[in-house]
C-alpha cells in the first residue's frame, strides 16, 4: 500500500477544510498539508450557500449584540466562551476574505453592505448577491492555489483514521478513479467533512453530505455532541428540497397561509410589519426553529395550501419588484422558475420546512481539538459548540473560517516535539482498514440492498425525528436504526469493479449515516425536554434543571451508543426567555 507522508492531513475541502489548509501554509510553508476530498473542492456544499455570513461591521451593532442573538437563538445551549471568541473573530475573517478577493455587495458609499437575517437584532449579514457560498469558496480555493505546500487529493474517499499509541496519526483513503487504497501518515489530522442532512429524505443538503467525517471520529472513540439538534429551514422548495435562502425574508419576503394571513403573528412573533419593511427578530425574521414549528402548527390546523407537491405555505416576494429581485435574489428566482415553473416576480412560491443543518457533531473544545490527541475538527461536522440548540442563519459560513483557522493553529501546536511514528504499527492499522473494504467485495450475497436500507432509514428519520418528536416515535426510530445497522452487515456490492465504484461509496456513506442516525435518535430519546430544534410533544418545556447540558454519544460497536452529559459553559448570559415578539406578546 502506498504511503503518503505529510504534517497535517485535512479531510474535506469545503470552506472549513480550505481555510484550515491556508492557515497552516501561512503559518509555516515548510509544513506539508494533504487536502483530501471525495469531490473536487468547488463541489463541496459550501458552494451552495446563498444568503451570507454574519459579522459585526456597522456602527450601531456590537459584539455583545451578536453574542446575545447567538446564545438566545441557540436556546442557551451554546458554550459562551466559544461564542465570545467567535463574534470577535468574525469580522476579521470576513475582512480577510475581502482582501483575498471576495466580492461582497456594497452600499452606495462603497462600504460593505449587510442584510437582515433571522433571529438577529441588527443587520450584520455580509453577502454576495444570493451566491455567497459560491464566492467564499472560490476565494478560498483560489487563495489556496498560491501555496505549494498544500497538496490536493481530489476524489479521494477517506475510510478510517489511523490511531496508534493513543493518538491520531493519519488515515486511509481510496483514490476513487483507481480503487487503490493509500495510507496518509500525518502528525495531526483535521476533519472538515461537513454535515449529515442526507439521513433525511427531504433536505437542502447536497448528496455528499452523509456524515462521513463525523462517523470517522465517532468510530475512533470521539463522542458526537448534541446530535439530537437538527435544523429545519422554513423555506425549501416542496418538490426538490432546494433552499430558498433566508435572505428572501431578510429582503422583505413574507409567509402566508391559505387565507393570505401572515400567520407568524399567531405564534409569538408579531406584530405584523408593513410589507417590504422587515422588523428585525420578529415575524418572518424569527429564528428558524420557531418559524419551522409554526408551519407544523398551521398544518395541524388545516391552514396550509394544498399543491401538487403536497401541503405548503406561501412565500410572497412580489412587492420587492423585479429590479430589486434581479439584483439581490437572482438565484432564488432562477431556482423557482427551474423547479416549479414559478416566477417570484409575479407569484408567491409554495414552500415547506426542509432538513438543513446539523447543530451537533464531533465534540471539540474551543480550540477545535477533540479528546483524541492529534485529531481536530471544524465546520459543520464539528460541535464546538457555537450553535447550541438552534443555529442562526449566516453564522455557519463564518464558523468555518474562524474555527477552520483555530483547528490549523491547534494542529500546528500539537505537532511540535512529537516522537517518531511507529511506521510498522501504522501499516498494520492501515491493513485492517483495507481488509474492511475488501470484505465488502468478497461477501456472499446477504440479500440486503443499500437502496432499501437507505430508504427505510430516511423514512424512519422523517417520521420519528422531525420537527416534533415523541417518546413512542423516537423509541421506534432507535429500534429501527438498530435493526438497520445489523442488516447493513449483510449488504453486498453489485459492482465489484475498481474504477469509480459508486456502488461502494454509497455503501460506505450509508454506514456513516446509520452511525450518525443511531447517535441522533438515542440522544433525542434521552433528552426529555423541548429546546431549540429539539421539540418533544410529551415534554413541552425547556428543563434547565436537568438538561442545560450537552449530550455526548459514545460509539459502542453494533450496540446502542452510550450517552453522557457535559455542562454548558456559561460566562455572562444566564438562561432566559427567548422573546421574538418585538415587545408585543
Ligand atoms: C443550500 C445551503 C445554503 C446555505 N446557506 C448558508 C448561508 O447563507 N450562510 C451560512 O452561514 N450557512 C449556510 N449554509 C450552511 C453552510 O453552507 C454549511 O454548514 C457549510 O458550508 C459547511 O461547510 P464545511 O466546510 O463544514 O463542509 P462542506 O462544504 O460540506 O465540505 C465537506 C467536505 O468534506 C469532504 N468529505 C466528506 N466526506 C468525505 C470522505 N469520506 N472522504 C473525503 N472527503 C470527504 C467533501 O468532499 C467536502 O470537500 C447553507 C447550507 C446549504 C445546504
Which pLDDT tens digit goes with each residue over 105-148?
999 999 999 999 999 999 999 999 999 999 999 999 999 999 99
Question: Which has the closest alpha carbon to 534: 395, 393, 390?
Answer: 390
What count of Cα atoms within 13 Å lies in the side-chain half-sphere of residue 14? Answer: 30
Question: In angstroms, what is the span from residue 43 Cα to ligand 1's centroid?
Answer: 9
Ligand 1 atom with the smallest distance to the CA of 206 is 53
In sequence order, the 6+-apart residues with CB closer than 8 A to the CB of 190 are 8, 9, 10, 11, 17, 20, 368, 376, 377, 378, 407, 408, 411
Residue with cell 431578510: 250
Whether 488 contacts 511, CB under 8 Å = yes
Backbone torsions φ then ψ of 483, nearest 5 degrees? -60, -45
Question: In angstroms, what is the span from residue 356 Cα to ligand 1's centroid?
Answer: 11
Ligand 1 atom with the smallest distance to the CA of 195 is 30
Candidate of 397, 405, 511, 513 to mutate for ligand 1, largest count of ligand atoms within 8 Å of Cβ: 397
Residue with cell 449488504: 491
Model confidence at 275, in pLDDT bands (50, 70, 90)?
Answer: confident
Whether 584 has a pLDDT exceeding 60, the answer reads no
Whether 562 contacts 554, CB under 8 Å = yes
Q: How many helices (H) and strands (E) does the chain have?
A: 15, 22
Residue with cell 476533519: 191
Whether 294 has a pLDDT exceeding 50, the answer reads yes
Whether 271 has a pLDDT exceeding 50, the answer reads yes
| DSSP string for residues in 394-458 | TSHHHHHHHHHHHHHHHHHHHHTTPPPP-HHHHHHHHHHHHHHHHHHHH----SB-HHHHHHHHH
Which pLDDT tens digit goes with each residue over 559-583?
999 999 999 999 999 999 999 988 6
Give CA–CA dist 80/568, Å, rounded. Answer: 8
Whether 319 has a pLDDT exceeding 90, the answer reads yes
In sequence order, the 6+-apart residues with CB closer than 8 A to the CB of 94 are 53, 55, 57, 104, 112, 126, 398, 401
Residues within a 6 A CB radius of ligand 1: 11-17, 36-39, 41, 44-46, 48-53, 132-133, 156-158, 192-195, 204-205, 208-209, 212-213, 243, 245, 357, 379-381, 394-397, 400
Q: What is the pLDDT of residue 270?
A: 83
Strands 254-256 and 305-307: unpaired
Residue with cell 433566508: 246
Question: In angstroms, what is the span from residue 403 Cα to ligand 1's centroid?
Answer: 14
Report how far apart, in Å, the C-alpha atoms of 146 and of each of 25, 151, 165 are: 10, 11, 35
Question: Which has the closest alpha carbon to 388: 542, 528, 218, 285?
Answer: 542
Domain 236-352 and domain 425-567, same fold? Reply is no
Burial of 161-181, coded b for 16+ CB within 10 Å and e otherwise, reads: bbbbeebbbbbbbbbbeeeeb
Burial of 533-547, coded b for 16+ CB within 10 Å and e otherwise, reads: bbbbeebeebeeeeb
Candidate of 49, 351, 392, 407 to mutate for ligand 1, largest count of ligand atoms within 8 Å of Cβ: 49
- Lowest mean pLDDT across 8-12, 215-219, 247-251, 410-414: 247-251
> What single DSSP character describes residue 68?
H
Q: What is the pLDDT of residue 274?
A: 83
Residue with cell 449566516: 394
Strands 230-236 and 349-358: antiparallel
Give CA–CA dist 356/339, Å, rounded. Answer: 19
Q: What is the pLDDT of residue 84?
A: 98
Candidate of 231, 362, 396 to mutate for ligand 1, largest count of ligand atoms within 8 Å of Cβ: 396
Give CA–CA dist 60/278, Å, rounded. Answer: 17
Give CA–CA dist 551/264, Å, rounded. Answer: 31
Question: In angstroms, what is the span from residue 399 Cα to ligand 1's centroid?
Answer: 11
Q: Of the CATH numbers 3.40.50.300, 3.50.50.60, 3.40.190.10, 3.40.50.2300, which one belongs to the domain with range 2-51+132-231+356-422? A: 3.50.50.60
Residue with cell 452600499: 107
Question: In angstroms, what is the span from residue 223 Cα to ligand 1's centroid?
Answer: 21
pTM reported for the whole predicted model: 0.97
Give CA–CA dist 384/391, Å, rounded. Answer: 12
Give CA–CA dist 337/45, Å, rounded. Answer: 22
Report how far apart, in Å, the C-alpha atoms of 540 and of each of 45, 290, 478, 563, 570 are: 34, 14, 21, 22, 24
Model confidence at 585, in pLDDT bands (50, 70, 90)?
Answer: very low
What would the CATH number be for the domain defined by 425-567? 1.20.58.100
Candidate of 13, 39, 45 to mutate for ligand 1, largest count of ligand atoms within 8 Å of Cβ: 45
The domain limits of the chain are 2-51+132-231+356-422, 236-352, 425-567
Q: What is the pLDDT of residue 166?
A: 95
- Is the CATH number 2.40.30.10 carried by domain 236-352? no
Mean pLDDT of the chain: 96
Question: In angstroms, what is the span from residue 49 Cα to ligand 1's centroid?
Answer: 8
Catalytic residue list: 233, 249
Whether 55 has a pLDDT exceeding 80, the answer reads yes
Asked if the bond preceding 8 is cis, omega within 30° of 0, the reply is no
Question: In angstroms, what is the span from residue 380 Cα to ligand 1's centroid?
Answer: 7
Residue nearest to atom 11 of ligand 1 (CA): 394
Model confidence at 471, in pLDDT bands (50, 70, 90)?
Answer: very high
Ligand 1 atom with the smallest distance to the CA of 127 is 8
Give CA–CA dist 4/106, Å, rounded. Answer: 45
Question: What percentage of the chain has pLDDT greater than the value 70?
Answer: 99
Which pLDDT tens digit goes with each residue over 356-394?
999 999 999 999 999 999 999 999 999 999 999 999 999
Look at residue 27 and give its three-state secondary structure.
helix
Ligand 1 atom with the smallest distance to the CA of 509 is 41
Helix, strand, coil percentages (3-state) for the chain, rounded to 5, are: 40, 20, 40
Residue nearest to atom 8 of ligand 1 (CA): 51
Q: What is the pLDDT of residue 452?
A: 97
What count of Cα atoms within 13 Å lies in the side-chain half-sphere of residue 75? Answer: 25
Give CA–CA dist 573/126, Å, rounded. Answer: 26
Ligand 1 atom with the smallest distance to the CA of 213 is 38
Mean pLDDT of 151-159: 98
Residue nearest to atom 5 of ligand 1 (CA): 49
Give CA–CA dist 409/305, Å, rounded. Answer: 51
In sequence order, the 6+-apart residues with CB closer than 8 A to the CB of 466 are 232
Question: In angstroms, what is the span from residue 363 Cα to ligand 1's centroid?
Answer: 18
Rg (CA), the chain: 23
Q: What is the pLDDT of residue 277?
A: 72
For residue 565, give the H/E element and its range. Answer: strand 562-567
Amino acid at each position: 500500500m502506498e504511503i503518503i507522508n505529510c504534517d497535517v492531513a485535512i479531510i474535506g475541502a469545503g470552506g472549513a477544510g480550505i481555510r484550515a489548509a491556508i492557515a497552516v501554509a501561512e503559518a509555516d510553508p515548510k509544513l506539508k498539508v494533504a487536502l483530501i476530498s471525495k469531490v473536487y473542492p468547488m463541489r463541496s456544499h459550501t458552494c451552495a450557500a446563498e444568503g451570507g455570513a454574519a459579522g459585526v461591521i456597522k456602527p450601531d451593532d456590537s459584539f455583545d449584540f451578536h453574542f446575545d442573538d447567538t446564545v438566545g437563538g441557540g436556546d442557551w445551549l451554546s458554550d459562551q466562551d466559544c461564542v465570545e471568541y467567535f463574534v470577535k473573530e468574525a469580522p476579521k475573517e470576513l475582512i480577510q476574505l475581502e482582501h483575498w478577493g471576495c466580492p461582497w455587495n456594497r452600499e452606495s458609499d462603497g462600504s460593505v453592505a449587510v442584510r437582515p437575517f433571522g433571529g438577529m437584532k441588527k443587520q450584520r449579514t455580509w453577502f454576495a448577491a444570493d451566491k455567497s457560498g459560491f464566492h467564499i469558496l472560490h476565494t478560498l480555493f483560489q487563495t489556496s492555489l498560491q501555496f505549494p505546500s498544500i497538496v490536493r487529493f481530489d476524489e479521494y474517499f477517506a475510510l478510517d483514521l489511523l490511531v496508534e499509541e493513543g493518538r491520531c496519526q493519519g488515515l486511509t483513503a481510496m483514490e476513487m478513479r483507481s480503487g487503490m487504497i493509500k495510507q496518509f501518515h500525518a502528525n495531526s489530522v483535521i476533519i472538515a467533512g461537513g454535515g449529515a442532512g442526507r439521513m433525511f429524505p427531504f433536505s437542502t443538503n447536497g448528496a455528499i453530505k452523509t456524515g462521513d467525517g463525523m462517523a470517522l471520529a465517532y468510530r475512533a472513540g470521539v463522542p458526537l455532541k448534541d446530535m439530537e439538534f437538527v435544523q429545519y429551514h422554513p423555506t425549501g422548495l416542496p418538490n426538490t428540497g432546494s433552499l430558498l435562502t433566508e435572505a428572501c425574508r431578510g429582503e422583505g419576503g413574507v409567509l402566508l397561509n391559505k387565507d393570505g394571513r401572515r400567520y407568524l403573528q399567531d405564534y409569538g412573533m408579531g406584530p405584523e410589519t408593513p410589507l417590504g419593511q422587515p422588523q428585525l427578530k420578529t415575524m418572518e425574521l424569527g429564528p428558524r426553529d420557531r418559524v419551522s414549528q409554526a408551519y407544523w402548527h398551521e398544518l395541524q390546523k388545516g391552514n396550509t395550501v394544498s399543491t401538487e407537491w403536497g401541503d405548503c405555505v406561501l412565500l410572497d416576494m412580489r412587492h420587492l419588484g423585479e429590479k430589486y429581485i434581479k439584483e439581490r435574489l437572482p438565484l432564488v428566482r432562477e431556482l423557482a422558475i427551474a423547479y416549479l415553473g414559478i416566477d417570484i416576480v409575479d407569484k408567491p412560491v409554495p414552500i415547506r420546512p426542509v432538513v438543513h443543518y446539523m447543530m451537533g457533531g464531533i465534540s471539540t473544545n474551543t480550540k477545535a481539538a477533540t479528546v483524541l490527541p492529534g485529531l481536530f475538527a471544524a465546520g459543520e461536522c464539528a460541535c464546538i459548540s457555537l450553535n447550541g440548540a438552534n443555529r442562526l442563519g449566516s453564522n455557519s459560513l463564518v464558523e468555518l473560517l474562524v474555527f477552520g483557522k483555530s483547528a490549523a493553529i491547534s494542529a500546528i501546536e500539537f505537532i511540535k516535539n512529537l516522537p517518531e511514528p511507529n511506521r510498522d504499527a501504522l501499516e498494520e492499522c492501515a491493513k485492517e482498514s483495507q481488509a474492511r473494504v475488501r470484505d465488502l467485495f468478497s461477501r456472499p450475497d446477504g440479500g440486503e440492498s443499500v437502496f432499501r436500507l437507505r430508504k427505510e432509514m430516511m423514512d424512519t428519520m422523517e417520521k420519528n425525528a422531525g420537527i416534533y418528536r415523541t417518546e413512542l416515535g423516537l423509541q421506534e426510530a432507535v429500534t429501527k436504526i438498530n435493526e438497520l445497522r445489523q442488516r447493513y452487515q449483510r449488504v453486498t456490492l453489485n459492482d465489484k469493479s475498481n474504477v469509480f465504484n459508486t456502488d461502494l461509496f454509497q455503501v460506505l456513506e450509508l454506514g456513516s449515516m446509520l452511525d450518525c442516525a443511531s447517535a441522533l435518535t438515542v440522544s433525542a430519546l434521552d433528552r426529555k425536554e423541548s429546546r431549540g430544534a429539539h421539540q418533544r410533544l410529551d415534554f413541552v418545556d425547556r428543563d434547565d434543571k436537568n438538561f442545560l447540558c450537552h449530550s455526548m454519544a459514545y460509539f459502542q460497536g453494533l450496540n446502542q451508543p452510550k450517552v453522557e452529559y457535559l455542562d454548558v459553559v456559561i460566562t455572562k448570559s444566564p438562561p432566559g426567555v427567548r422573546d421574538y415578539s418585538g415587545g408585543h406578546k
